[in-house]
């Protein structure tokens, strides 16, 4: 998973649309990135299955042999770290046929920008099908209405406050006036002080 995350950070160009911030400051990953990550869950589950089985065996042995000295994973393996093997036989790029030196890739560095939009559309379509199948089976991963009610109420409250402020302060939403009159005075306060006074997150106060 660490290797996957490093490859994702190296290959993907993130935008503001990939992350959403709630009024309470919590940041959440947004679609379609969530769909792409969800498609990796079966692969990660298979990778973790032998590790979970091995841990279960160690715990079972420790319960049976309570009087014996504890047997740890490091003792069983000789406390040796296994090196992550590289691709012995590099695969060919799906577009140009050049060898790919990184694992889990289907395109080389030159073809990655051209393949990214197409890959994203395929991932979104596959995620929609999986979500539809789970919903039809009564196992909707998006949660129930009660689970989603709190974020929805927070967003509605934020919009309500914005509309209320606009009614109470007509004609005072001039950006030039804000930069001239308000912004210089805010420089005397830290982000923490502004956040404490307004109830906003540090990121919102910085913007």
* pLDDT at residue 105 is higher than 80: no
Query: Burial of 7 by CB count in 10 Å (0-12 exposed, 13-18 middle, 19+ buried)?
Result: middle
The answer to whether residue 114 is domain-embedded is no
pLDDT-based confidence at residue 146 (cuts at 50, 70, 90): low
Over residues 111-120, the mean pLDDT reads 75
Domain annotation covers residue 156 = no
pLDDT for 161 equals 85
Q: In this structure, is residue 183 part of a structural domain?
A: yes
Q: Does any domain span residue 60?
A: no
* Cβ neighbours for 99, distance < 8 A, ≥ 6 positions apart: 90, 91, 92, 93, 108
pLDDT of residue 84: 44
- Compute how many other C-beta atoms are within 10 angstroms of the C-beta atom of residue 36: 19
The percent of residues above 70 in pLDDT, for the chain, comes to: 79
Lowest mean pLDDT among 67-76, 121-130, 147-156, 192-201: 67-76
Q: Is residue 62 part of a domain?
A: no
Q: What is the mean pLDDT of residues 156-165?
A: 83
Instruction: Write the pLDDT tens digit of every residue in 61-100.
Output: 887 776 555 555 555 555 444 444 444 556 777 777 777 7
Write out the two tokens for 24.
């309470």
Look-up of token digits 């694992």: 103
168 domain-assigned: no
What is the residue range of 198's domain? 174-207
pLDDT, position 74: 52
Is 101 within the bounds of a domain?
no
- Is residue 167 exposed (0-12), middle (13-18) or buried (19+ Cβ within 10 Å)? exposed
Q: Is the pLDDT of residue 27 over 70?
A: yes
User: What is 51-68 written as a DSSP string?
Assistant: HHHHHHHHHHHHHHTSSS
Q: How many structural domains is the chain composed of?
A: 1
Task: Calculate mean pLDDT across residues 16-26.
Answer: 84
CA distance 171 to 6: 48
Q: How far apart are CA 114 and CA 104, in angstroms?
A: 17
Q: Is 193 within a domain?
A: yes
């Amino acid at each position: 998973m660490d290797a996957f995350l490093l490859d994702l950070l190296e290959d993907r160009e993130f935008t503001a649309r990939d992350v959403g911030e709630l009024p309470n400051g919590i940041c959440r990953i947004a679609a379609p990135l969530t769909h792409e990550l969800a498609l990796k869950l079966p692969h990660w589950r298979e990778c973790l299955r032998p590790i979970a089985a091995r841990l279960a065996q160690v715990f079972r042995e420790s319960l049976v042999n309570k009087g014996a000295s504890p047997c740890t994973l490091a003792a069983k393996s000789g406390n040796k770290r296994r090196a992550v093997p590289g691709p012995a036989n590099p695969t060919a790029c799906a577009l140009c046929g050049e060898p790919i030196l990184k694992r889990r890739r289907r395109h080389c560095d030159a073809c990655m920008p051209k393949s990214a939009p197409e890959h994203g559309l395929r991932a979104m379509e596959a995620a929609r099908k999986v979500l539809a199948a789970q919903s039809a089976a009564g196992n909707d991963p998006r949660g129930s209405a009660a689970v989603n009610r709190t974020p929805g109420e927070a967003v509605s409250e934020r919009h309500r406050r914005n509309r209320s402020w606009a009614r109470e302060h007509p004609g005072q939403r001039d950006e030039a006036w804000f930069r001239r009159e308000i912004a210089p005075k805010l420089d005397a306060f830290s982000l923490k002080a502004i956040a404490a006074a307004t109830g906003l997150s540090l990121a919102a106060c910085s913007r």
